[in-house]
Each structure stands twice: as structure tokens, then as C-alpha cells.
Amino acid sequence: MAKWQSKSGSKSRRSEPASKTVTTSPSKPPKHGGSFSVPYVDARNLAIVGPYIIGNWSVPDALAEALRKSGKAVPKLVSGAMLVDTGADKTCIAEDVAIELGLQAVDRQKVRGAGGLDENTVYAAKLNIAIVRTDGSRSEVLMTIRAVGIPELREHFEANKVNVNGRSLRLIGLLGRDLLRYSKIVYRGETGVVDYTFNFGPLIDQK
């Protein structure tokens, strides 16, 4: 991160320009983000399920191109729910989704969970987050990231009979702090609504 420093020490001072009234236009939503809300059936459903966003996983562009050149079909994207997990330092992908997409392992990472310390596979994957803004406009944020594979994530979700607003929704991953750092989340537990504001511009622009 750049450090900005002010320089001082000059004895002479120039006169300050006269102040001007500046009319600003309404702020535009960020190019790679926006604000939106996710309402639940009631507060109890939010308490059971937890905050989530809708997204999908797909293969990275390099892998998709390699598959096409070899005459193989590119796997279809996998859509579902990404649970917000402030306890996860990295964004995670359900292992069954990684297998379904045929993702390539790029690393191994030690992960501490409820059962102790495990070593999980890290995959290169493309994450697509759906942004439905409060003004009704819709956009998508695409980013290729290194996601930690989590075995039995979907099974745990289904075993506890968790449904979202009366319908079952496939759990495809966890949104960790590496991406949550670009967000502002308001959890309105009494009314069963979660408000999100995302701005992934700094993350995407640096790549």
C-alpha cells in the first residue's frame, strides 16, 4: 500500500484560492460491485441458514482454452449459494464442485476446522458473483482466484436439512475474508434481511 507523506518546511506561503461551490452528481455504483439486499422468509430462517450470496464457479480461461484446443467439452458452470464465513481466511469451493468442473490443483493448504487440522487441495477457479443492485440493475463480477477445496461441504448442508426461503439451494462454497475485505455487510437479524455492498475493483484492477 502506498504511503502518502506531506512535505513541510517552506517559510513562504502562497495565498489559498477562493473556495468554490462544487455540485456533485449522484455516486455511480462501482464497476466491479454494487449494493443489494437478500431477504429471507423470516428472521428464524436467516438464523438457521446464515448470510449467503448467489454465485457460480467455472473453469479458468486458460483451462477452458486448453480443453477446446484438445477437442474436449468445457464443463458447464455450477451455480448455488456461497455462505459468508468470517471465520475462513480464504474463499473455499465445495470439493464436489471442483471435481465436477475438473479443476486443476495448484497447491495444498493446512486448514483448521472443527475436527482439527487438515491439509486441503487449493484449486484455480473462476468465481462469478451476481450483483442485483437496489436500483434494479444487474451485473456480474468475474474473478479467477485460488480457492480451498472443502470436502463434504454440500453433504453437511443437506444433512442438516437447510433450505433457503422454502427451497433447497446447493451450497457451492464459502466466501472468506480474502474477498470479504472488499465488502460492507449489514446483518438485520430482527427482520431477516442482509444488506451487501461489494467493490472488488481494487482486487480485479491489480491483476
Cα angle 12-14-15, degrees, rounded to a multiple of 5: 135
User: All 3 cell numbers of residue 144?
Assistant: 479467477
List pLDDT tens digits, range 43-72. Answer: 988 898 889 988 999 999 999 999 999 999
Look at 42 and 136; give whichever has higher pLDDT.
Answer: 42
The pLDDT of 29-48, averaged and rounded, is: 81
H/E segment holding residue 156: helix 153-159
The pLDDT of 194-202, averaged and rounded, is: 86
The pTM of the full predicted model, rounded to 2 decimals, is 0.77
Look at 188 and 19; give whichever has higher pLDDT.
Answer: 188
List pLDDT tens digits, range 82-131. Answer: 999 998 999 999 999 999 999 999 988 877 655 566 788 999 999 998 88
Rounded-to-10 torsion of CA 155, 188, 130, 169: 30
HEC secondary structure over 46-115: HHHHCCEEEEEEECCHHHHHHHHHCCCCCCCCEEEEEEECCCCCCCEEEHHHHHHHCCCEEEEEEEEECC
H/E segment holding residue 167: none
Look at 36 and 149; give whichever has higher pLDDT.
Answer: 149
Taking 50 as the threshold, does the pLDDT of residue 20 lie above it?
no
The pLDDT of residue 114 is: 54
Tell me what percent of the residues of the chain surpass a pLDDT of 90: 43
The pLDDT of residue 6 is: 29
